[in-house]
Amino acid sequence: MSSSSTGIYLAIAGAAVLAAAGGAAFWYASQKNAGSPGTADQLVTVNATTCAPNAITVPGGRRSFEIVNASDRPIEWEILDGVMVVAERENIAPGFRATLEVQLQPGDYAITCGLLSNPRGTLTVTASDEASAAASEVTLRKFLGPLSEYRVYLVMQGNAAVKSAEALREAIAAGDLDAARAAWRQARLPYRRIEPLAYRFSDLEERIDPRAAYLEKREQDPAFTGYHRLEYGLFAQDSTDGLLPVADALVADLKELAQRLKQAPLDPGLLIEMPGESALQMAQAQVPEGENLYAGNDLQDFGASLEGIGKLAGLLRQVVAGVDPALDKVIDQDLQAVDARLAALRDRGFAGYGDVPRPEREQLSADLNRLSETLRKLQPAIGIN
């Protein structure tokens, strides 16, 4: 072999090593903000079939859970009150950990343990002085306007989600692949705007937006339904064949979601928690690897998600502006920074999210983490749990 050929092979090998190292470093950076080992109130280890411990008891109040993924698949970990998601961490990579902080009132909850088909565990929250004090701090008067305005926003976007899904179904029924792909991209946007509340209906979310990675048989799993099943057919299989029943089911589920959004209980504590939690979910679980693996239009989806976060933050800024003007200003600056970053990435015209360089994703993730940290300062500034 000539010296020039040897040099080429060495260069290729070196590039592969650097790429692997860069990927590992990026995953570490994206997960390390979740917390250091041993700092949480409760350690939960999730393996292939269950979580340990499978039954947890903690006192009420603000509690932290360190979730370690000991399986060979990415996982999500949720706390459920009936079908409602109280809090979650998703897309935790194998071998990594994430920390979840949540305000808990006394009661009995369920916890998910890896794959959606795995048996659920239990979380018992006992009475405590901290939980009683937190409950007594909530006052409704200053939140009546924001709560009412957000209800209107939920209704409008819920109806828009139904209409856009119906347009998608019509394109699929006509067998028009190009029209169906365009309709799918548009159909995602209203859902992403209301996802901070919509994802908390766990039974609907598992039908509307499940990811193949969380299912035992991945794309071949019968539970692979909703948006991503349609995305897989339209963009990976390049066909509308067999998708009409999936589209019908999505329309039906979104109609049910729209009805629930009209009646869902809203309170100041939930309103103040949602924008920061949503920004953190984007930073840690969505931006690093993306969610629309077949269509690759994640930047468009992220823009819609930021609109939803911005709507919530704007309502809360009405309350905080008179209490902490400096915090109000920082929230505005951080929102603008994320929006500018997304706009710059979209303007570069990437063919798909897979083409967005790792350093660019890391910068976007850092901006969202900073926004989340700023939004979490709303609670002590306003005095609402």
Tokens 């292939």 correspond to 48
- Predicted confidence (pLDDT) at residue 25 exceeds the cutoff of 60: no
Bridge-based pairing of strands 61-69 and 107-111 is unpaired
Q: Taking residues 9-30, what's their average pLDDT?
A: 41
Fold classification of 141-190+199-260 is A middle domain of Talin 1 (1.20.1420)
Question: Does the 267-385 domain belong in CATH 3.20.20.60?
Answer: no
Q: What pLDDT does 38 receive?
A: 58
Of the candidates 20, 190, 209, 50, the residue with the CA atom closest to the CA atom of residue 120 = 50
| Cβ neighbours, 10 Å, residue 3 | 7
Q: Which residue type occupies 164?
A: S
pLDDT of residue 31: 41
Per residue in 371-381, pLDDT (tens digit) is 999 999 998 88
Question: Domain spanning 42-137 has what CATH number?
Answer: 2.60.40.420
Establish whether the linkage from the previous residue to 53 is cis, with ω within 30° of 0.
yes
Of 246, 203, 244, whose CA–CA distance to 226 is shortest? Answer: 246
Q: Report DSSP letters for 283-306, one per residue.
A: IIIITTT-S-TTT--HHHHHHHHH
For the chain, domain boundaries: 1-32, 42-137, 141-190+199-260, 267-385
User: Per residue in 318-363, pLDDT tens?
Assistant: 888 878 889 999 999 999 999 999 999 999 999 999 999 999 999 9
111-159, pLDDT tens digit by residue?
Answer: 998 888 899 999 999 988 887 666 545 456 778 889 999 999 999 999 9
Q: How far apart are CA 279 and CA 175, in angstroms?
A: 37
CA 381 to chain CA centroid, Å, is 25
Q: Dump pLDDT digits (tens) for 175-229.
A: 999 999 999 999 999 999 999 999 999 999 999 999 999 999 999 999 999 999 9
Equal fold, 42-137 vs 267-385: no
Query: Between 9 and 68, whose confidence is greater?
Result: 68
Q: What is the dihedral of CA 166, 169, 175, 176, to 10 degrees?
A: 50
Looking only at the bridges linking them, the beta strands covering 97-104 and 121-126 are unpaired
pLDDT at 296: 96
Q: Give the range among 39-53, 132-146, 154-168 with minimum mean pLDDT.
A: 132-146
Q: Which is nearest to 315 in space by CA: 271, 267, 265?
A: 271
Residue 85: strand pairing partners: 80
